[in-house]
Every structure is written in C-alpha cells, then in structure tokens.
Amino acid sequence: MRCPYCHATHLVKNPNELESIPLEVVAQSIEKHKEWLDGVVISGGEPTFHNDLDMLIKIFKDMGLKVRLDTNGTNPDKIEDLIQRELIDCIAMDIKAPLRDGKYNEVGGVLCSLTDLQRSIKLIMESGIEYEFRTTVCRAFMDKSDVVEIAQGIAGASRYILQSFRPTNCLDNTMFDVLPYSEDEMRDFAESARRFVKNCYVRGEEMKALSCN
C-alpha cells in the first residue's frame, strides 16, 4: 500500500537501496540477547507476499521464539495457511479505513479488495490465537464516525488499537501540514469504538490499563 501518511517512506520509494541484513546476523543477534527475548515480530511492507516467509518463521520457531505477524490483510490465503499450520502465535492487522471502496482506496493509496480484507478479518477473529486490529487515525482522512464504522465492522473483536497520526517522514509531503488529533480526541474515539469491541485503546495507553488490572 501507499498510505499518504506512511512514515516508512524509504521502504516504499527506494526499497532496493536499503541495506540487506544477512539472516545469520539476525540469528546471531537474537541468540546474543536470547535471555531477554521470547518473541519476534515480522512486519513490512507486507510480509505475506514474500516467498521465504515460511522458512523465516520456522527458523525463529526452531530458536524457541514466538512469532507475531503484522499484515494489512490483503493476502487472506496466506494468512489462512499460516494459521492452519500453527506457524504464528499472534497476528496484528492494520485496518486503514471503513470497508468502503472509495474510502479504503483513498487511504491505502492503491486499489484494495474489500472481499479479501473482510475474509482476513473473519479468519483472524476465528483463529483462536492472540490478535489485534489497529488503525492509524489521520485527520485528513478519518473522523470519529469512521472509527466507529470500523469498530462496527469488527464487532466482538477482542482488541482494537487506535494509533495517532504523526507528521514524520510522510510519503505525501502535504501530510506535514495536517494537525494530529489531540490525546483527548483520541480517547473519545476509543470510548465510542468500545461499544462494539471488547477492548479499544489508544496506542500506549493499553499498557497503563493492563498495569491497573
């Protein structure tokens, strides 16, 4: 995808110019810090379109690590395969906008199949593994009603996280002029979404809630 507010501009525009880190170096680093680690997160870009994903997951599993997959939900066949083969322990899916064609394509920056996205949501909610859905809330595209509509679309989900847009290293330069929502506004969005999902927090505040329980 090419979300205008994406802060990973280097991954989108010039991926071939980035340094490639050999897998052995990654494995050595994990081994060195193993007493402090119990899991890894595989993110992207979109990791489910990489042919060697299964091999990478198995290497981490053989090292005794749990694996979380971060995905945009556009490849439900792969998500289903990984879940069925019990290769992942947790999955996090970004939901960019309410599942409406024009809206989703605008925020995602590319044409998206709503059918694929809806299927991925269903697979994840029925997977039996730990999961979360999350949305970056950018004033240029999203308001409170959009957040509530997304929450309605994942009604009954165990965990929905809202992330506040920050105008940093954005793919679209016009995003630097967009004012982020305030903390109070974000909390209000989460409170409204909580009518439909079991837990909804603003990123960072979920840890505070856990520490109070």
Where residue 66 sits, what CATH number does that domain have?
A: 3.20.20.70
Each residue's pLDDT expressed in tens, for the chain with a length of 213 residues? 888 888 877 777 777 788 888 999 999 999 999 889 999 999 987 999 999 999 999 999 999 999 999 999 999 999 999 999 999 999 999 999 999 888 999 999 889 999 999 999 999 999 999 999 999 999 999 999 999 999 999 999 999 999 999 888 888 889 899 999 999 999 999 999 999 998 999 987 654 444 434
pTM score of the predicted model: 0.90
CA–CA dist 202, 164 (Å, integer): 8
Q: In the block, which residue shows the tokens 């019990």?
A: 86
Structural domain includes residue 149: yes
Please report the pLDDT score of residue 213 as a whole number: 41
Please report the pLDDT score of residue 54 as a whole number: 94
Structural domain includes residue 3: no
Domain of residue 72, residue span? 9-14+22-212
CA–CA dist 31, 111 (Å, integer): 41
Please report the pLDDT score of residue 206 as a whole number: 53
Question: In this structure, are residues 69 and 47 in contact, taking their beta carbons and an 8 Å threshold?
Answer: yes
Structural domain includes residue 2: no
Count of structural domains, the chain: 1
Structural domain includes residue 147: yes
Question: In this structure, are residues 148 and 196 in contact, taking their beta carbons and an 8 Å threshold?
Answer: yes
Structural domain includes residue 152: yes
DSSP-based three-state secondary structure for 97 = coil
Structural domain includes residue 41: yes
Please report the pLDDT score of residue 144 as a whole number: 97
Q: Is 54 exposed, middle or buried (0-12, 13-18, 19+ CB in 10 A)?
A: middle
Please report the pLDDT score of residue 211 as a whole number: 40
Structural domain includes residue 148: yes
What residues have CB less than 8 Å from 49, skipping those under 6 apart? 75, 78
194-198's contacts with Cβ under 8 Å and 24+ in sequence apart are 194/151, 195/148, 195/151, 196/148, 196/151, 196/152, 196/154, 196/155, 196/156, 197/151, 197/154, 197/155, 197/156, 197/157, 197/158, 197/159, 197/160, 198/156, 198/157, 198/158, 198/159
Copy the structure tokens of residue 125: 């909610």
Structural domain includes residue 4: no
Copy the structure tokens of residue 168: 């940093």
